[in-house]
Structure 1
Amino acid sequence: MNILWSETMHPGGKWSGVIGKGKLIRLTAMEEGANVTMLLYHAADLTERYNMPDTLKAQHTAHLTKGHVLMSDNGRAMASIVQDDLGWHDPLGAYTTRGSTDEKYGVSRYQEQRNDWLRSGQENLAVELTRCGLGNRDLSPAINWFSKVYCDAEGNMHFAEGHCKAGQVVTLRTEMDILLVLSNTPHLLDPRKTYPSVPVKLEVLPALPVDSQDYCVNYRPENRRAFNNTWNYYALQS
């Protein structure tokens, strides 16, 4: 398929934009150890956004991979994971803050270091939300692509080092018109002491039409209900 648009997110970079339904969003780790934090909103109604608890509960999972659907707080399918080289992406680990970044990697300020200062996930996301007419109160549970976090028997969360290899890809399909917000910043639980951010390629391609035999639609009965909610919504818009 022809690539409609592409951009490389450099270490510490951020991006936001509206992407129409029926597109593929392909993320490629250019080096090992990538982490891209994502927020997701309905472009036509920014009060509707990705709902982490419903997404995980409906699909009986604590991680995301191929077949899983990202559901909104209105019970609609916003995007689906149609291809995944890693088998596990983290929906639980949140994002770094200014305080956690300074504590782990040393104090870093734009005034002294200019574009070499170390960005935090929270700051990056907040800046992009402001550009899109939103604000700090619209920060919500995020997805960390390329990262694996698992819990032990006592409920402690652990970051899996070495999970992401260079060249690995995850691809989403948009089921709605979405506002996508991304931050290429370290995972909050990554134990490395040097700022571990690597380039990630972002590409948008056309997607094939979704039919009744689609893998994501049929992954779980709850997925089909979410798709039906989305299809009904757009049927009434046309």
Structure 2
Amino acid sequence: MTRDTASVLAARSDARSQGDGVADWMAYLPASSTPYPPQGVEPADLTWAETVGPGGYTHARVARGTRIRLEDVTGDACANLLVFNAVEPWERLNVADTQKIPWQAYLGEGHPLLSGDGRVLATVVADTSGQHDAFCGTSSDTWNERKYGGSAPFGPTPSGRGLLTLAAAKHGLAPRDLAPSVSFFQGVRVEADGAFRWLGSAGAGASVDLLAELPLIVLVANVPHPLDPRPDYAVGPLRVHAWRSAPTSPTDARFDASPERRRAYLNTLGYAAAAGL
């Protein structure tokens, strides 16, 4: 197809003609227009809907009580996630506390994602995958250059760290703000000798739901897991939907799942009340 961009008017006409175009990887605006609405969710309640392509990234600021669903479309997605308190972004995901406070190193349903201030930033409230990782973090430029021969953010083999840096910049955050991330849909287990074993995915269609316990900045990079033994840059599309819900309350069973979790949720409720959230 020949495109006429020889003049300003022609270029404008050409650009406007593409306004209704669609792509395999895109944000759906408004969110209610998503072609893949989550079952049981009213389209009008959706606040974020997007398909993130292989080697892509996304980011959003979401309200307290937002429920975020990540879906592994083909069985090859790897959602590398960082979350920040949107009110005070210096409060961010602390992977060590996320493993330590629940006395559980493996992420799954009911698992709180904690900050270093002892508050729950988000909770895993549903999980059909069971294959996740809170040990290895995401790939670096050096790692990708060694394995794939390149790491440029807009090239064929971007690193997770590089993409999260781009996403962070959209919210005024710098590389120094990027702590270790967690990832969903590619499992890792620790062997008796301390070695990490990559398990791969649970298969196409698996999903994870996160509940925002505070207003959050959410950063996601969809890149291969660092331990993925496949030589190619193997990663599939990631689907994201978010909708209005309610944060964890003292009436929820997970609130009192352990003394440590109760304290973390109380810390969160106290902060939210003092800040008028």
1:136 is aligned to: 175
Listed one character per residue, the Cα deviations across residues 126-184 of structure 1 (whole Å, up to 9, x for unaligned) are: 111122111111111101111211111110111113x2311110000010001101100
2:240 is aligned to: 202
Identical aligned residues as a percent: 32
Within 2, Cα distance between the matches of 1:5 and 1:122?
A: 23
1:223 aligned to 2:261? Answer: yes
Amino acid at match of 2:184: W
Q: Which stretches of structure 1, 4 residues or longer, exceed 4 Å deviation after superposition?
A: none
Within 2, Cα distance between the matches of 1:189 and 1:209?
A: 34
Give the count of matched residue pairs: 233
1:167 aligned to 2:205? Answer: yes
1:13 is aligned to: 56
Confirm or deny: 8 A CA contact 2:131 2:202 kept in the other structure.
Answer: no
Work out which structure has the larger RCO, using CA pairs closer than 8 Å and 6 or more positions apart in sequence.
1
Amino acid at match of 2:87: A
Within 5 A, what are the aligned runs for 1:1-238?
1-2=41-42, 3-107=46-150, 117-161=156-200, 163-208=201-246, 210-238=248-276
Confirm or deny: 8 A CA contact 1:80 1:216 kept in the other structure.
Answer: no
Within 2, Cα distance between the matches of 1:46 and 1:209?
A: 19
Within 1, Cα distance between the matches of 2:106 and 2:131?
A: 6
Amino acid at match of 1:155: G
Within 1, Cα distance between the matches of 2:225 and 2:152?
A: 20
Q: CA deviation at 1:31?
A: 0.3
Q: CA deviation at 1:72?
A: 1.0
Q: 1:88 to 1:213 in 2, by over 3 A?
A: farther
User: Scaled by the length of structure 1, what TM-score is found?
Assistant: 0.92
Q: Which runs of 5+ in 2 are unaligned?
A: 1-40
Q: CA deviation at 1:189?
A: 0.7
- The two structures, once aligned, show a CA RMSD in angstroms of 1.6
